[in-house]
Structure 1
Amino acid sequence: MSIVKEFLLLKRDLGGLVILFIMPLVLVITVTLIQDSTFKAVSENKIQILLVDNDKGSVSKTVFDNLEKSQLFTVVTQIDGKPITEEVARENVYKGKFQLAIVIPKNLSTDLQAKIDQNVENIVSKMGFSDTIAKPETSKIIQQKEVKLYFDPAVQLSFKSSVMSSIDKMISQIETKSIYTTFQNQLGEENTKFEQKSFITFKEIIPKVNNKEVLPNSVQHNVPAWTLFAIFFIVIPLSINIVKEKSQGTFVRLLTNPVSNLVVIIGKTVTYSAICMIQFYMMVAVAIFLFPHIGLPSLNVEGHLFLMSVVALFSGFAAIGFGILLGTIASTQEQSAPFGATSVIILAAIGGVWVPVFAMPKIMQLIAKSSPMNWALEAFYDVLLRNVSFLEIIPKISLLFLFFIITTCIALFYDKKKRTV
């Protein structure tokens, strides 16, 4: 009957119940759609960049060709049919119309070749070939060249670092090629061929399951994260209902029955656990059946659904324990509702739902380990992305259940002390 009572309370607030189910679905669809592009090949959504070519030489042509061939950028050299100047590029980038402008300085190709010729001639002369090689008439001092990069002030630091690294690697390859060619010309070996490909390369080893590569996507990251957010949001209706029972005298009438307070707590736990599991299965169903129809990857739960359900159940326990504690301590709905919403957002923020924990400062990484959302999220990732067994997620779900036990015991102890004073 305690369970029936809880369902009746929920039934009387159909609007809140609808929000409890619809809000997470809208949230997971919206966020996944927004973030999906970061998990796709960049070639599907190339970034337009401005290229100001003041060099008009071989180096600038090579830079242009490499940028065009890359899967990152689309090169723009004219605006309104006119060649782009540095001033125009700077103005467009700083106004946010383009994310990046590259300005190649004058005489870059000729000065680069001249500097390489000087260096090669010095090396060759020291090797004892000075008699056969014509020395330069004058030792020209060549100034260092700068390739200027203008970034939109709103772009992220990670984007800047990635672009600068790519440009630096490109220029280094051009210099290396020029050095090899100059040595070849100086030594008079026109038919000599140098291997110019990088000797050291990088290869990502992707984990495989049943001989298939496991590639993470936006759905695998977002569905667990926002499912947890939805599960913990039951803190609000649960705490509000507990406060209502106290303010309306229902709780006092319950205490007059020959049952312990623990029975009432169990009734709430069973009811809201069912709500949490319904939320979880709705989110999974949307990720499996709806996402492919709106251009998103489908969530692959093959072989994972049982363990995911276990994680969702224990996550629900943690949320219920927190809601019971909050409802017991709060005196009014004005206290429980705002505090519940704010605390859930804070737990989500420090738990890695919005920003990955590894990207946080060191102090925040330590604090994140205290968030039950972080324990649950890591358990979901273990199941979906790391393909672990049930034994390997026991420590995390045990922490979630321990959190439920501790918060519930504190709530019972607080309520008993408050009523006996």
Structure 2
Amino acid sequence: MFSMYVLEMKKNLKDKGLIFWTLLLPIAFIVVFASIFGSDTTDQELTLHYVDTDQSEASAELLQEISTLKNVELVKEESYANSVEQIQSGQMNVLFHLPEGFSNDGSTHLYYEQVREEVAAPVIAMLENLRYGLQAEEQYTLAQEEWENAAMVAEFFTPPFTIFYEAQDSGGEVDAITHLIPGYAVMFTFFIMISMVTSFIKDQRSGMLSRLAATPLAPLQYLGGKWIAFITIVFLQVVILLLFGYFVYDINLGNVPAITVVSLLLALTATGLGLGLSLIVRTENMGIALTQVIALGGAIVAGLWMPLEFMPSFIQTISVGLPQYWAHQAFLDVMSRGATIVDIWPSLAMLLGFSILGAFIAWLSYGRYVKHAN
């Protein structure tokens, strides 16, 4: 088994494509998406283009109220007609228009491109909140002028319920980067299946497998030596990606023994399923196609790209049947919530179960695999 392990490690270390898939590509993904989503979204500004045709004291007061709102940037446009054309052509997201007569009836218009309604939604929410806020202030002022009983005015305008916002400290760092890096680490570990399929098919077609079959080398020694080699590679891949996040983006790794066990079981799971896949497929193209389905499809359904809470309920139900889900949840529990090995034992048990399943499929398929060797 040890000789097979050494041989497989030497072959893989010479494979430049393996380095690309396991390290260079995931690091590139992390850097690109971290630059996009890593900033603090609470500090992002809403840009509101406006045209003030009314040019009245009332319109100036409203614009002044909007300008005082946090994270709102007002951009004045001179031409109403030109601005509407820019909305229609997609050159401008939203346009707030105060038409002539606004000071009399209070009518305004918000223009946005129909296909970009989700972009206009935050601006709509902001304007609605401002509208109802100003309405409440005006009603409160009128009530104070009309009613002599200040206590009755205060009671009338007291909301029917109160909300106390209490963010709970989970003991770790909770931000976009902490979710993103383990997500991509999990996703790219499953691309090791491509290298595994290629390696096993080469052994099958080159005559190496036939020669090994004629030696005292047992099937478990052959499979075990190659499997352990790929486990080593994937484990190092995960460790390097997490350390990259730690040193470059200052993410919190949490409990070191727990994060180490999760990384090891993730390597065991990805390579175990890869072992089973490698002995089932007949061609490299089929192996690559199935790997892409498993790696990319699993990443989407398991919530590696976006939180599962944003997905339909049936996707959330399906996700618990995927190893990517359990690996990602384990990483998040350790890195964001300060979990230990004891806390994440269900995720560890599921990952171990998937790895055993892959190894069992490989063991059942070994006879067929050897039969088709050259």
The TM-score bracket by the shorter chain reads: 0.7 to 0.9
Cα distance change of structure 1 residues 308 and 15 upon mapping to structure 2, 3 Å threshold: same
Change (3 A) 1:183 1:92: same
The 1-side partners of 2:109 and 2:339 are apart by 48
Cα separation, partners in 2 of 1:258 and 1:100, compared to 1, 3 Å? same
Q: Residues 360-399 of structure 1: matches in 2 within 5 Å? A: 360-399=311-350
Q: Deviation per CA, 1:96-121, whole angstroms, max 9, x where unpaired?
A: 33322222354445446xxxxxxxxx
Match of 1:300 in 2: 252
Aligned pairs, number:
368
**Offset at 1:316?**
1.1
Distance 1:359 1:209 in 2: 21
AA paired with 2:296?
I
Shift of 1:154: 5.4
Report SS of the residue matched to 1:167: helix
Cα displacement (A) at 1:50 = 1.0
Match of residue 36 from structure 2: 34
Counterpart secondary structure, 1:390 = coil
By how many angstroms is 1:317 displaced? 1.2
8 Å CA contact retained: 2:147, 2:153: no
Q: What is the correspondence of 1:104-115 to structure 2 with a 5 Å cutoff?
A: 104-111=98-105
- 1:331-386 Cα offsets, whole Å, 9 max, x none, are 12222123223331111111111222111112222222222111111111111112
Which whole-Å CA distance do the structure 2 matches of 1:333 and 1:205 have between them? 54
Tell me if structure 2 keeps the 8 A contact 1:57–1:109: yes
Q: For 1:56-85, what per-residue CA distance to the aligned partner results, in whole angstroms no more than 9, with x for missing partners?
A: 45654444233322333210123xxxx342
- In the other structure, the counterpart of 1:173 is 133
**Percent identity for Structure 1 against Structure 2:** 21
2:18 is aligned with 1:16: yes
Distance in structure 1 (CA, Å) of the matches to 2:55 and 2:138? 17
**Superposed CA offset, 1:138-182 (max 9, x none):** xxxxxxx4x43223455462x443332221111011111222223
Task: Give 1:315 shift.
Answer: 1.1
Change (3 A) 1:326 1:171: same
Aligned partners of 1:244, 1:59: CA distance in 2, in Å? 78
1:258 matched residue in structure 2: 216
Do the aligned partners of residues 111 and 380 (structure 1) sit closer, same or farther apart at CA in structure 2, a change above 3 Å counting?
A: same
- The answer as to whether partners of 1:93 and 1:152 remain within 8 angstroms in 2 is yes
Deviation at 1:329, TM superposition (A): 1.0
Q: 2 CA distance for matches of 1:268 and 1:59? A: 77
TM-score (norm 1): 0.78
- Give secondary structure in 1 for the equivalent of 2:342: helix
Aligned to 1:224: 182
Quickly say closer, same or farther: Cα 1:4–1:196, change in 2 above 3 A.
farther
In the aligned structure 2, how far is the partner of 1:355 from the partner of 1:151? 27
Give yes or no for contact 1:48–1:98 (8 Å, CA) kept in 2.
no
Aligned to 1:270: 228
- SS at 2:49's partner residue? strand
| Contact 1:46-1:73 at 8 Å conserved across structures | yes
Distance 1:15 1:418 in 2: 25
Q: Which residue does the alignment assign to 1:90?
A: 84
Where structure 1 has 5 or more consecutive residues not aligned to the other structure, the ranges are 113-144, 292-297
CA distance in 2: counterparts of 1:347 and 1:208, whole angstroms: 30
SS in 2 for 1:208: coil
Q: Report the equivalent of 1:138.
A: none
Cα distance in 2 for residues equivalent to 1:203 and 1:100:
34
Aligned to 1:73: 72
Q: Is the 8 A contact 2:319 2:325 kept in 1?
A: yes
Q: Match of 1:41, as an amino acid?
A: T
When Rg is computed on C-alpha atoms for both structures, the one with the higher figure is 1
The match for 2:202 among 241, 244, 262 is 244
Deviations 1:252-298 (A, max 9, x none): 2223332322222222232112111211222122222234xxxxxx2
Separation in 1 of the partners of 2:215 and 2:157? 83
CA distance in structure 2 between the aligned counterparts of 1:380 and 1:50, rounded to whole angstroms: 43
Q: 1:241: Cα distance to partner?
A: 0.5
Structure-to-structure mapping, 1:189-208, within 5 angstroms: 202-208=163-169
In 2, Cα distance between equivalents of 1:271 and 1:396: 24
How far apart, CA to CA, are the structure 1 residues paired with 2:261 and 2:58? 59
| Relative contact order higher in (CA < 8 Å, ≥ 6 apart) | 2
Choose from 265, 271, 280 the match for 1:320: 271
Deviates more, 1:249-258 or 1:27-36: 249-258
| CA RMSD across the alignment | 2.9
Paired letter, 1:4 = V
Match of 2:111 in 1: 150
2-structure distance, mates of 1:16, 1:420: 28
Q: Matched residue of 1:299: which SS?
A: coil
One-letter amino acid matched to 1:26: A
- Residue 342 of structure 1, aligned match among 277, 293, 298: 293
- What is the one-letter code of the residue matched to 2:45? K
- Relative to 1, partners in 2 of residues 1:63 and 1:375: Cα closer, same or farther, differing over 3 Å? farther
Residue type of the partner of 1:92?
A: Q
Within the alignment, does 1:25 sit opposite 2:27 as a pair?
yes
8 Å Cα contact 1:77/1:84 also seen in 2: no
* Among 139, 161, 167, the residue aligned to 2:121: 161
Retained in 1: the 8 A contact 2:84–2:95? yes
CA contact 2:21–2:191 (8 Å) conserved in 1: no
Structure 2 residue matching 1:75: 3-state secondary structure:
strand
Q: Distance in 2 between matches of 1:64 and 1:194?
A: 29
